[in-house]
Structure 1
Amino acid sequence: MDKRNYNLPALLSIMVAMLLFKTTQGQYIKKQADDQARLYNYAEAIPLYEKAYRKKATSAAARGMADSYRLMSAYTLAEPWYAKLATMPDHTAADEIHYAGILMNNSKYAAAKEMLDSYLNKKNGDKTAENMRSGCDSAAKWLSAPAKGTLDNLKALNSQWSDWGTAFNKGVIIFASDRPYDSLQHNPFFSTTNIRQKYYGWTGNSYLHLYESNGQDSTSTKLLARNINGDYHSANASYTADGSKLYYAVTDLKKKGRTLLGKDEPYTLNVEVMEQQWDSATGRWRQSSPFPYNGIFNYPVGDPFISPDGQELYFVADYGDKGYGGTDIYYSHADENGKWQTPVNMGPEINTQGNERTPVFDKAGTFYFASDGQPGIGGLDIYKAIKTSGHWVTKNMGIPVNSPQDDFAPALDSTTIYFSSNRPGGKGSDDIYRFIPARILLFSLSGHILDKKTNKPLSNAEVIINNKETGIPLKVVTDEEGNYHVKLDSISSYELSVAKTDYNSVTGAVVTTKGLSASRDLRYDAMLEAPEKVTEKKPEPQPAPNKTYKLENVYFDVAKADIKPGTATELDKLVKLLQDNPTWKVEIATHTDSRASDSYNLKLSQRRAESIVVYLIGKGIASDRLVAKGYGETRLLNRCANGVRCSEEEHLANRRTEFTILNM
């Protein structure tokens, strides 16, 4: 069960043949090679095909060599054999599309397009070939503009053999490998099977088994439990979020039974999906149970991905004419009794005439999978799909996640993508890689503009955001609900103002993206006030002792106590009032909303009150006439206490600066 070998294109897990089914003496070498290929023993078929070709250069022998190397993912070795085959008059259209795929694997896109054109002349409208040709056209663009970030070969996991598939469970990484291992089998299931206990004839390596590792130290790598790793293939692990269930793909020997003639005919045992339940009492995995829609004698079912809550199982299968091509991606939902319902095909927005593999979702609901049927760079490529208006929109992940070779088995951990690839330069035939995209910080500013008197939204209010670094202003107009939204430059400070006809403007507020380490949407709300219409001059209200007055438009930066330029203008009015009334003694009080801790807010408000007092003293007001008092969130004006969800406008009502005349 190589990561491709149960669907590209042969639908194999293990081919079983009894010793009664042996080649008789006198058969040709080509027949011997075909027998080995029929049993998917390509490692043994290749030298026989080569010997047959040397004896007689036939297209059948050349095709046997080319196809065997292709199915073993030995693309550079396959290419010269397909080149020979393509010159032979009796080569087929299938030979041409296979040759084109190999040329793409070897980054020879111009030659691949020529071969695809020849193929399409014979098979006009073939969607797979058309997508391959589209991939040839796009490959140059993808190769010239790789995504920025860090690509790592996870050497602590990889070996000189095939290592692929990544899953996470309880702080460890789970993966599959066909590295040599000590025999797990003591008593053979069959005594007459030609399947060797330690070696997989397709690759000539050991069977795949599941391992765990801390990902940092190769000495931490160890086999999973015996009831997970059987005598043959185990791969494609997927865990629920709580680690209580494990789904994985396996192959195992099962006897099909004899024919009516009493002969043991060869048959294919396909990959199937198994479930394990964790027994917390014993600290072990329980006996596995098969997915009810497996078909070990009829079709492959593999690459399971279980949703974190264990309610949705995604997998690949080739259910014959029920799908769109090779292996398609399906999902099944568990009902209220935990019974898996009839699988649903994900449809043509995901599945193609080719093979779709290794489905997985990230926490945000983005779907990732591998495919050789979508337009790609070569072989299996990794794609991501986002559901928009009820439809999947699919995008090739590009370089360096994809390469001209096979790239598959994506796994997401935050913004990091793990995947597997047999690209050149790796440690083994397949290696596990990690790509960390370069961090691109994106910022925006949103807000809500209201009428201060009526608390109703104001449409067509103009918000001006002036970039203090560049001096370039941004302008945005509120919608009918009084909302606005605008993108900001990555690193800068912005001075804000809001204006609307028949309203007083609001100025002096500042927001900044400096020092932020993650993308975010900043918030600035404002309330505009319409000027009072004066019909007759009314006498000014007379100040009274022990009465508190609010200082309007006194602002501080977030978590700061420095006097802002716009605030100084308002404070100068208080300076004038104190100068005109030299006998007054006043308390300067600042208040916060309930966000942040009580003690933090109390200290912050005290520092702000002291900053105002220092400013007034600097303007010539005697210090013994001033008392600084920070009340924090102890005197809220509304319901917005700790833990209460409130709007920004409600919180804004609590953030205020006041002065109280203590005596006159």
Structure 2
Amino acid sequence: MKNKIIYTALLLFIAFNSFSQTVGKEKKGNKDYEQYAYIDAIKTYERLYEKGYKSPDMLLKLGNSYYFKADLEKAAKYYDELYTTNPDQEAEYYYRYSQSLRGIKEYKKADEMMLKFNAKSGNDSRAALFNQNKDYLAEIKRNSGRFKLENAGINSKYSDYGTAFVDDKVVFCSARDTGNFSKRIHTWTGEYFTNLYSAKLAEDGSLSDVQKFGNKLNSKYHEDTPVFSKDGKTVYFTRNNYLDKRGYDDGKVTLLKIYKANLDEKGKWENITPLPFNSDSYQTAHPTLSPDGKMMYFVSDMPGSLGKSDLYKVAISEDGTFGTPINLGKTINTEGRETYPFVTAKNELYFSSDGHPGLGGLDIFAAKIPEDGNFTNIQNIGEEANSPKDDFAFIINTDTKRGFLSSNRDGGEGNDDIYKFLETRELFIEQAIFGVVTDAKTNEVLPNTKITLLDEKFNKIAETTTDAKGYYEFLKLEPNTKYYLRTEKPEYDVKEIPVITGKEDGRTEVNIELDKTAQPIPVGGDIADVFKINLIYFDLDKWNIRPDAAIDLAKVLDVLEQYPTMKIDIRSHTDSRASHAYNEKLSDRRAKSTMAWLVSKGISKDRLTAKGYGETQLVNKCADGVQCSEAEHQLNRRSQFIITEL
């Protein structure tokens, strides 16, 4: 392919490479029901913060709460204090903190947090370069071994490349000697200008009976890379800027253009016309069509291109007119060459590039075409489709799994050769995430629950709501990919969980349990259950309230302040170590110390009772003489706050 036939017009476009690789507030959550109190934990956390009781977990919950509500000023406040307390956080925190800071125009600090996010997630520019150099060969290896390649059997000693399906034939371009009386030889290579040829296509993918194709389509200059409409009656193809006469740019160079032709009733091609977005001052080439024929993808170096040649798309209306070409963007296009697009019946885009990491020269890459047009996952299709040389012009019939590609790899017959292949394993393995959303305490299914699917950088991908049975699902997802599920329902806490899809084709079940924001506690219920207060720690043989215990007690204090008629019984317990008498006295002192702390904060003493139970109410097997771990003993050293009256 290094010596592919090139018309002089292509010099600036593809340098020394070939023609064929060209172009390249929340409402108050407390509700009173008969003998129940509903406690809004988030509101309690905020009141605790104002009173000076803080913990990293509480700050993170507050920050996330306001972030989800899009109150970025308050989110930044709590994230900032969390960062000051503990700068080492998970990657998602830095992303949300950065976004919150941007919301209050603290751009410099926001950029600092984004750098930390990139460092944690591996997506900053330096990390990206490192990961490309480190991991791209592993991706190629993972995607390799999926093709059985053979010489297509129609190659000549010249350049043969750029195939297209039509009816029971394959149309390709070639610089072979046709034996015509008048022969035009390209002085750069000593080869003839390329024309279009056809070959019969057998069920096993073999080709035979090569014939010149569409005499009127072939000119005395280059033609290549045709694509046909579903009915085979319209063809789009690449040609040098030549119709009735040669066209030139300002530098007197003949560039490339895409042309269209129609098949008449006699089977002859007619009405050859250039497409309206062509220009004498830039190049367009290598058209391909979407499965429905409503979108054309092509290559160009038109103004606005990111590299030497970029991939574009343009809409085709029912009357045959064209829209405005749109660049496929930075995920696809690089500063190098992207060229030879092909779209499969499964809406997969294949193309060649020397800008994405590969094995050498042009490599073939693929991506699923997203509905929103924002490409995310570009994959090198692996060996043996790719080689250290130029590999390009990939096409495939997704029903038969058979197709063709072109390459100038070693062992060929000419400068470029066409290879047939059989795909033995698909590249894109679709995954699904599904499950049921229920109430964490009652197991009741929760219909009409909003679930948002996010990517690993917390960009929104899709959104759905659960059906009458609490069921949800997200389809057409990537395998072995990290996603986040954010679940939201009024009167329930927002829950966000990570999910990694499987490596093989299949479905990933993720059932979600939601906790009510306002937790019901009946008379006889334990306030500690709402806030998961299992332990109020005391120093050895001490009963004074430590600062860390004060944070949990402050939660109980807030509840008592919300409900001035509520009365509680404070019950303290010990583990089985030490004597019964000692443990009973120690737990009693600790219970009364807890009561005294609450009284010191303004709670009337007649609302409180307190008693220590020592080791008489163990929650597990760890009685005297039973060997237990420290963690098991800790479960017995607990405090309870039982509602006795509302």
TM-score (norm 2): 0.46
Higher-RCO chain (CA-CA 8 Å, sequence separation at least 6): 2
